[in-house]
Amino acid sequence: MAGKVVPIKGGSVGSGYRSANRPDHRGVDFPASFGTPIYAAADGFVVRSGPATGFGNWIVLDHQRELGVDTVYGHMAARDLLVRAGDTVTAGQVIARVGSEGESSGPHLHFEVWGPPGRFGGADQNPSIWLRDARQPGTSAVPPLPQTKGDKQLIADVTVLTRNDSGWRDPNTCTHICQHTNQGPAFGSLEGLLGWCANPISEASYNLIVHGDGRIGRSNDDDYIPWAAGPISNRKGLHVCAMGYAEETREQWLSRPAQLDSLGEIWADWAVRHYIALQKVDGNQLRAGAEGVCGHGDTARAWGETNHTDPGVGFPYDVVLQIARDKINQEDGLSAADADRVVANLTEFIKGYLAPVISDVKDLREQVTGSRDLHYKDPERKVVDLQKSYPGLKILGNRTLPDTVAALAQAAGIKGAIDPKPGA
């Protein structure tokens, strides 16, 4: 099927386009495990596939005829480039696998979009915006990725919609996820806070609210502008309130794991659904146009429209960001924590069991052949160097154990026995 396709299945943006701290970053980064499939973002043909400065290796696809852009995919290993220059590709076709070649701090896909005439002569575009109407690989429409999601937005446990809003907006134009507190007890009444947001006298509302026990309440649909911060952030942001106080310590927040888990679910939903980078951004970065996760206090410092400081210095952004990333990764398999445990268990098994067995096998090989390892004249073609691989034992006249048995058999007159090293 034609149209646009997300290049990493279920992927979220880790480093955004031309952010304040990386103004020359002309694409977006999708963190993913080594070997994760990379998909062609649209129908087209391959312009480049091979080495590239900075990327280690890259692929450049031309979609000018249908979409008026080129797309770039970077940091793959040479062995993981699955298409060649001149090949025709279709949207959603696997063209490569994730690597960490070139100037890279870890496995990820660097993805760029270039306007006409393309990568060579055109201007770079924001991939997050370009991908907002893209579908997931293997689907005919963009699906609700996290598990309890409706076609339009996350399904809340309790919904009390308010008229405290500034009308409709396209949530795909949102650039940040804004975290709030309500300056009230974490285990107060969720329904009461939703009712307060529905009261015109309050002149306040959010998109979502999370109770201390993890229940989620909806005050505004995601495509309506809430009254949560100043006009700019209200319009550009998706706003969620965690019931609690801005003065709370990190330890107090961490004592409510169900609440943090629900916040991570919300952040993951918004990040995937609307291509908002899962990275913490401050006021200066927001003002410069960066995408990411921030607090009400950050928006106040960015645009000076309020004087709020919530959710406070103790709020564990790092923890909730990791929860969100893990929830996205679970769409395709293990969470990062589970993957780490699997690796640790495999490492322990290899070191504690396989390594001693392998060492014993090598000891036996050395006693039989005179060499612990197999040696190659031509490693690429697996041509064995017989002299180095089977040198024999000095105490047996540089014969291997089978050579020695054959020599003894010949000396004993056994029919067909041949000494492979006569005179040794």
Residue 185 lies in a domain: yes
* C-alpha to C-alpha distances, 77 to 41, 130, 156, 168, 402, nearest whole angstrom: 19, 26, 43, 45, 43
Give pLDDT, residue 104: 92
Three-state secondary-structure class, residue 236: helix
Alpha-carbon 136 to chain mean position: 14
The Cα 347–Cα 352 span in angstroms is 8
**Residue found by looking up tokens 């134009």 in the block:** 173
- Quick check: 8 and 36 in contact, CB under 8 A? yes
pTM as predicted: 0.53
Q: Are residues 303 and 390 in the same domain?
A: no
Which of 332, 281, 290 lies closest to 8, judged by CA? 332
What residues contact 4, with CB distance under 8 A and at least 6 apart?
Answer: 41, 42, 67, 91, 130, 131, 133, 134, 135
Considering 278, 303, 332, which residue would you say is the last residue of a domain?
Answer: 332
Q: Are residues 171 and 94 in the same domain?
A: no
Work out the number of other CB atoms within 10 angstroms of the CB of residue 344: 10
Residue 422 lies in a domain: no
Residue 17 lies in a domain: no
Give pLDDT, residue 388: 83
The Cα 165–Cα 218 span in angstroms is 13
- Quick check: 75 and 101 in contact, CB under 8 A? yes
Residue 378 lies in a domain: yes
How many CA atoms, within 13 angstroms, populate the side-chain half-sphere of residue 72?
A: 28
Q: Are residues 91 and 122 in the same domain?
A: yes
How many CA atoms, within 13 angstroms, populate the side-chain half-sphere of residue 231?
A: 1
- Quick check: 289 and 175 in contact, CB under 8 A? yes
The Cα 390–Cα 373 span in angstroms is 9
CATH code of the domain in which 210 resides: 3.40.80.10
What residues contact 176, with CB distance under 8 A and at least 6 apart?
Answer: 233, 236, 237, 238, 276, 281, 286, 291, 292, 293, 294, 299
Which of 299, 187, 195 lies closest to 238, judged by CA? 299
- Quick check: 250 and 320 in contact, CB under 8 A? no
Q: Are residues 218 and 326 in the same domain?
A: yes
The Cα 32–Cα 96 span in angstroms is 13
Could you say which DSSP state residue 415 is in?
Answer: T
- Quick check: 371 and 390 in contact, CB under 8 A? yes
DSSP-derived pairing of the beta strands 237-242 and 216-218 = unpaired
Considering 332, 366, 390, which residue would you say is the last residue of a domain?
Answer: 332
Which of 32, 273, 322, 259 lies closest to 146, judged by CA? 273
**What is the domain range of residue 294?**
158-332
- The rounded average pLDDT for each run of 10 residues, N- to C-terminus, in the chain (424 residues) is 83 79 88 94 96 96 93 97 95 95 94 94 91 81 42 89 92 94 95 92 95 96 95 96 97 96 96 89 92 96 96 97 88 59 72 79 84 78 79 88 90 90 78
Q: Are residues 220 and 289 in the same domain?
A: yes
Give pLDDT, residue 2: 64
Q: Are residues 263 and 301 in the same domain?
A: yes
- Give the chain's domain count: 3
Residue 419 lies in a domain: no
- Quick check: 182 and 236 in contact, CB under 8 A? no
Considering 292, 316, 332, which residue would you say is the last residue of a domain?
Answer: 332
Alpha-carbon 406 to chain mean position: 60
Q: Are residues 40 and 187 in the same domain?
A: no
Residue 320 lies in a domain: yes
Q: Are residues 106 and 58 in the same domain?
A: yes
Q: Are residues 323 and 402 in the same domain?
A: no
Residue 85 lies in a domain: yes
- Quick check: 33 and 24 in contact, CB under 8 A? no
- Quick check: 158 and 190 in contact, CB under 8 A? yes
CATH code of the domain in which 112 resides: 2.70.70.10
Structure tokens at 121: 């002569």
Q: Are residues 48 and 112 in the same domain?
A: yes
Q: Are residues 172 and 302 in the same domain?
A: yes
**Strand partners for 241:** 180, 209
* C-alpha to C-alpha distances, 134 to 50, 113, 128, 172, 277, nearest whole angstrom: 26, 13, 10, 12, 16
DSSP-derived pairing of the beta strands 237-242 and 176-181 = parallel
Residue 153 lies in a domain: no
DSSP-based helix, strand, coil % in the chain, nearest 5: 30, 20, 45
Q: Are residues 192 and 73 in the same domain?
A: no
